[in-house]
Amino acid sequence: MADIQSIKNRFGIIGNAAELNYALQVASQVANTDLTVLIFGESGVGKEAFSQIIHSLSTRKHNPFIAVNCGAIPGSFTGAVDSRKGYFETVNSGTIFLDEIGELPLGTQARLLRVLETGEFIRVGSSKVQKTDVRVIAASNKDLLDLVHSGRFRQDLYYRLNTVPIRVPALHNRKDDIILLFRKFAVDFAEKYKTAPVQLDDDAKNLLINYGWPGNVRELKNIAEQISVLSQDKQVSGRELAKFLPEHPMSRLPVLAHANGNGTHEFANEREILYKLFFDMKKDVTELKRMFLEILQNPNLVAQNQNLVNQLKESESYRLKPQEFMQPITQPVMQPAQPVLMHDDRIHEHEEVEESLNIMDKERELIIKALKKHKGKRKDAALDLGISERTLYRKLKEYDIEE
């Protein structure tokens, strides 16, 4: 088994995350066998790099290696038409990497299963059975078991492929590696474009670390190249970096969900979250005001109408302690309008003062409060607000808030 650090040096693997090291260890251990390997991981994490590592460390390293995108291959790929060789014949004695195996048509899955189990295939238009000696490494960014349960992937093929599983971690689970990777890419692009490598200040580093990276290492590399080419200042600030990050990235934050036609949910932006929060709390507070007003106007109401008391106790907002209800709390609660007491201390009339529900005003107010609370520390303020630092940077600029 090769040393993990030597594998990193040889194949240009950057990072020290425990999940990454474990995946490399498994790849190293299984490389010198002929076992089938199934590599899992999100798009852009580098699954093909692991297939090349396994092939290069195996006894087949001097024989052919071919990578095939299963979503773009014809229905029959194990054999060939007439004299033209198919994939498995071309790569005989070598390694074939079947990327996105979950996209393989069901009919082709049956032919692949036969090759895996017997090493045999039949050319298209021929009746002659031929033998092949191929090591198969497959990869998927989908949960193949889900595809099995939905009838889109053969169960027997899944268990045949999944002899040795390797899971490549997503970049958002390798936060300590993000700056290391960016620095490596920045140096590479500086050499490519004959310029000085860009440097990140502390705000930019924090922004980079806390971004969700839905495109993983591939996306980070693209961002590094854009900054290397387009940034006029080689010392990149957080504000400058924010310009290169997508305006509405695929977020991993718990946000307001909308049901789609598939029964799943799609997520909205931070402004919709705040609006939903204000709307729900407004309804709760309005209902509480109504009940309290009825009780204050009629002291005998509690004794006469036990159902109203039970309804009050079951209210979500009733879970607040009395002192918490009377004092400001951290959530942006609309305070109930106070009844106007007359000189005889009895309620004859009351008026309600409707607070502004302008979402932008409320959002700006919350951001200012969070910054004051955390003494201008944007990272802590963003965490308290439940948004990313990148979003906070954008909001500061959008609302022209001076720090």
* C-alpha distances in Å from residue 297, one per residue of 289, 306, 342, 352: 12, 16, 13, 16
- Categorize the per-residue pLDDT at 86 as very low, low, confident or very high, splitting at 50, 70 and 90: confident
Predicted confidence at residue 258, as pLDDT, reads 42
* 180-214 CB burial, b ≥16 within 10 A, e <16: ebbbbbbebbeeeeeeebbebeebbbbbbbbbbbb
pLDDT digits (tens, 9 = 90+) for 280-293: 666 666 667 666 66
Task: For residues 389 and 207, give the distance between their C-alpha atoms in angstroms, rounded to a whole number.
Answer: 6
Mean pLDDT across 27-48: 95
Provide the CB-side half-sphere exposure for 168 (13 A, CA). Answer: 26
* 234-248 CB burial, b ≥16 within 10 A, e <16: eebbbebbbeebeee
Mean pLDDT across 89-99: 92
- Categorize the per-residue pLDDT at 249 as very low, low, confident or very high, splitting at 50, 70 and 90: low
- pTM to 2 decimals? 0.60
Predicted confidence at residue 389, as pLDDT, reads 79
Least confident of 129-138, 196-205, 233-242, 273-282: 273-282
Structure tokens at 368: 């200012």
Would you say residue 336 has pLDDT above 50? no
301 vs 218 pLDDT, higher one: 218
Predicted confidence at residue 320, as pLDDT, reads 42
Would you say residue 216 has pLDDT above 90? yes
322 vs 61 pLDDT, higher one: 61
Asked if 393 contacts 378 with a C-beta cutoff of 8 angstroms, the reply is yes
Task: For residues 266 and 277, give the distance between their C-alpha atoms in angstroms, rounded to a whole number.
Answer: 18
Asked if 131 contacts 93 with a C-beta cutoff of 8 angstroms, the reply is no
β-strand pairing of 65-69 with 129-131: unpaired
32 vs 401 pLDDT, higher one: 32
Predicted confidence at residue 356, as pLDDT, reads 53
Neighbouring CB atoms inside 10 A of 308's CB total 14
Task: For residues 152 and 64, give the distance between their C-alpha atoms in angstroms, rounded to a whole number.
Answer: 30
Would you say residue 7 has pLDDT above 60? yes
Predicted confidence at residue 362, as pLDDT, reads 77
108 vs 358 pLDDT, higher one: 108
Contacts of 157 (CB under 8 A, 6+ apart): 109, 112, 113, 116
Predicted confidence at residue 401, as pLDDT, reads 84
For the chain, what's the residue count?
403
Asked if 98 contacts 137 with a C-beta cutoff of 8 angstroms, the reply is yes
pLDDT digits (tens, 9 = 90+) for 369-385: 888 888 888 888 888 88
* 133-170 CB burial, b ≥16 within 10 A, e <16: ebbbbbbbbbebeebbeeebbbeebbebbeebebebbb
pLDDT digits (tens, 9 = 90+) for 167-193: 999 999 999 999 999 999 999 999 999
* Secondary structure, 3-state, 3-35: CHHHHHHHHCCCCCCHHHHHHHHHHHHHHCCCC
Least confident of 72-81, 133-142, 185-194: 72-81
